[in-house]
Amino acid sequence: MIRKLLHRVFSRKPSASVSTPGTSGAELRIIPRKQHAIPRHHISPCASKVTSELQQAGYSAFVVGGAVRDLLLGLEPKDYDVATNATPEDVRAVFRRSRIIGRRFRLVHVMCGSETVEVSTFRGDSSTDEDNGITANKHADEHGRLLRDNVFGSQKEDAVRRDFTVNALFYDPAKEEIWDYLNGYDDIKAKRLRIIGDPLQRYREDPVRMLRAVRLAAKLGMQIDEATAAPIGDLAPLLRNVPPSRLFDEMLKFLLSGYALASVVDLRARGLHHGLLPMLDVILEQPLGERFITLALKNTDERVRQEKPVSPGFLFAALLWHEVLAQWNIRQASGEKPMLALQQAMDDVLAVQDKELAIPRRYDVIMQEIWAMQLRFLGRGGRRPFRLLEHPRFRAAYDFMLLRCESGEIDPELGQWWEAFQRADAGEREAMLLKDEVPKKRRKRRSRREPVAGDGASPDSSAADAVIS
Ligand code: ATP
Ligand code: MG
């Protein structure tokens, strides 16, 4: 008990050290149950258990961030975060099923059944010079990006270091109170997304906040406040300094949010897609590519909203397809054979993408299979269509090909044929085969080169030319 008391006295720093411009006067407002509309039973049992057991152990503990925001908006939170004045070791001592994670900033994962709640200790502003309370950006790179964010602080400081006012609300499930230091509650009611503090400084500290602004506004149906939106276009290049793995995580959240299309349209309007997916830029400027990506994102959004599984590999394959197509065309024009040209085009695109965005290598295989099968859809004679149907990735590649038809890139007749072929019985399938598609002479020659296409299904170059012209 004495240890806890000492900890509480010494772990807090004076709130005067909060120096984010425009937030130093942050006043706590407590919103009681009769004013807000969060029913207690909507909180996940695990989050209630974690806050209540921490409180019983003498600490303060609140549900915080996205979960409170979503509950106030009548949405179901994806995950729950708890903020407390207990240190990770204290939290670990309270919960048997818990583990400390993270090296730079340590968090605790508390498990109840299949649910996990993330518990973090109130954090302060690590850009502040601790001796004199002014912003010194001691722990920032030359662009102002924060490299350190691991100083314990008070609850108020923890609110101020968050990104948007609507993400800085604390909820106490026991008292059913919302603690609001930054008028986040009013912003939620007004559907206004407002960054905490000085927008320029906050985006420089962490450029990913620009992406979060666009994603959250689309997801929550909020307007980005004018001052919050204004610097986004100009500061977009700062995203290049963000480690690729972090950019990738954010991009995945973005694409699988269920609001990807609205977000991409918004990103584009703000000039932000330049830093997000460098190649998206090139693609969106092509009339065919834009229609294709729009359809791919629309389908993905529908699937996410219907809670159907979505394959990120499929989506990446779609985002990069027109880049592959362009390379493929160039290589064929210089005389390379279709399958070889396609393989090289895929390798080129993946190599650039790997450097720029670090799409993990585990997605390469699915992208390559989907792309390579596009050529194989042209082989509609002999046993080739039968072999293709058995490919484990047939369904994904077929859906992909339908998108190409729908976008106007290829003749819809190809999609219709494959649709009919799948539905047909054995006899009908035989009758559907296009016997003349590949000239005999070439077919003979190709059989010696079969390994290139995986199962030897490469159609001849005239057929391949037809699909990409
Ligand atoms: P969602 O989970 O719906 O994508 P979220 O706001 O919960 O949205 P998380 O990534 O789960 O997003 O972050 C949890 C909380 O951590 C946020 O609500 C916010 O308070 C804080 N946070 C997240 N990212 C940042 C950031 N880049 N800068 C400052 N605070 C952040
Ligand atoms: Mg969250």
Q: Return the pLDDT at 140.
A: 62
Q: Which atom of ligand 1 is nearest to the CA of 208?
A: 27
Q: Write out pLDDT tens, residues 142-182.
A: 666 655 556 788 999 999 999 999 999 999 999 999 999 99
CB of residue 157 inside a 6 A radius of ligand 1: no
Instruction: Report which of residues 374 and 15 the model is more confident about.
Output: 374
Alpha-carbon gap, residue 333 to 467, rounded angstroms: 14
Q: If you take atom 11 of ligand 1, which residue's CA is the nearest one?
A: 66
pLDDT at 130 over 70: no
pLDDT band at 26 (very low <50, low <70, confident <90, very high): confident
**234 alpha carbon – ligand 1 mean position (Å):** 23
Ligand 1 contact, 36 CB (< 6 A)? no
For residue range 182-217, list pLDDT tens digits in order.
999 999 999 999 999 999 999 999 999 998 998 899
Q: Which ligand is nearest to the CA of 105?
A: 1
Question: Among this protein's residues, is 163 annotated catalytic?
Answer: yes
> Which range, 13-27, 129-143, 373-387, is most confident?
373-387
pLDDT band, residue 412 (cuts 50/70/90): very high
If you take atom 26 of ligand 1, which residue's CA is the nearest one? Answer: 163
Residue with tokens 């662009």: 143
- What does the domain layout of the chain look like in residue ranges? 1-190, 204-290, 312-442, 444-469
pLDDT the model gives residue 360: 84
Q: Which is the closest atom of ligand 1 to the Cα of 65?
A: 18
Distance 424 CA to ligand 1 centre (A): 50
Is the Cβ atom of 298 under 6 angstroms away from ligand 1? no
> Closest Cα to atom 17, ligand 1: which residue?
65
Distance from residue 85's CA to the centre of ligand 2 (Å): 20
CA-nearest of 350, 379, 378, 342 to 366 is 350
Each residue's pLDDT tens digit, 36-66? 989 888 999 999 999 999 999 999 999 999 9
Residue 2 burial (C-beta neighbours within 10 Å; 0-12, 13-18, 19+): exposed
Instruction: Look up the pTM and report it.
Output: 0.77
Ligand at shortest distance from the CA of 211: 1
- In this structure, the residue with its CA closest to atom 21 of ligand 1 is 162
User: pLDDT-derived band of residue 14, with 50, 70 and 90 as boundaries?
Assistant: very low
Instruction: Give the pLDDT band (50/70/90) at residue 323.
Output: confident
Among 163, 164, 169, 208, the mutation site with the greatest number of ligand 1 atoms within 8 A of its Cβ is 163
Confidence of residue 288 (pLDDT cuts 50, 70, 90): low
- Pairing of the two strands 177-180 and 169-172: antiparallel
Does the pLDDT of residue 333 top 50, yes or no? yes
Indicate which residue's Cα is closest to atom 15 of ligand 1: 65
Helix, strand, or coil (residue 280) = helix
Q: Is the CB of residue 246 below 6 angstroms from any atom belonging to ligand 1? A: no
Given the residues 81, 90, 187, 301, the one annotated as active site:
81
Instruction: Compute, in angstroms, the gap from residue 167 CA to the centroid of ligand 2.
Output: 9
| Cβ contact 47:63 at 8 Å | yes
- Closest Cα to atom 10 of ligand 1: 66
Tokens of 134: 């002014």
Q: Which range among 2-11, 166-175, 254-263 has the greatest average pLDDT?
A: 166-175
- Any atom of ligand 1 within 6 Å of the Cβ of 81: yes
- 91 vs 235, residue with greater confidence: 91
8 band by pLDDT with thresholds 50, 70 and 90 = very low
Q: Predicted confidence band at 434 (pLDDT cuts at 50, 70, 90)?
A: confident
Residue 465 bears catalytic tag: no
Which residue minimizes the CA distance to atom 6 of ligand 1?
Answer: 66
> Residue 2 — very low, low, confident or very high, per pLDDT cuts 50/70/90?
very low
Pick the more confident residue, 252 or 80.
80
Nearest atom (ligand 1) to Cα of 209: 27
Q: How far does residue 273's CA lie from ligand 1's centre (Å)? A: 21
- What are the angstrom distances between the C-alpha of 348 and each of 279, 280, 282, 335, 444? 13, 16, 15, 17, 30
Does residue 469 have a pLDDT over 70? no
The whole-number pLDDT of residue 148 equals: 55
| Neighbour-count burial of 134, counting CB atoms closer than 10 A to its CB (0-12 exposed, 13-18 middle, 19+ buried) | exposed
pLDDT at 139: 60
Residue 369 pLDDT more than 50?
A: yes
Q: Are 117 and 53 in contact (CB under 8 A)?
A: no
Q: Which of 70, 163, 225, 266 is catalytic?
A: 163
Q: Reply yes or no on domain 1-190 having CATH 1.10.10.60.
A: no
- Ligand with minimal distance to 66 CA: 1
Overall fold of domain 312-442: cca-adding enzyme, domain 2 (1.10.3090)
CA of 400 to the centre of ligand 1 (A): 33
Mean pLDDT of the chain: 82
Q: Exposed e or buried b for every residue in 309-340, given b needs 16+ CB within 10 A?
A: ebbbbbbbbbbbbbbbbbbbeebbeeebbbbe
69 alpha carbon – ligand 2 mean position (Å): 10
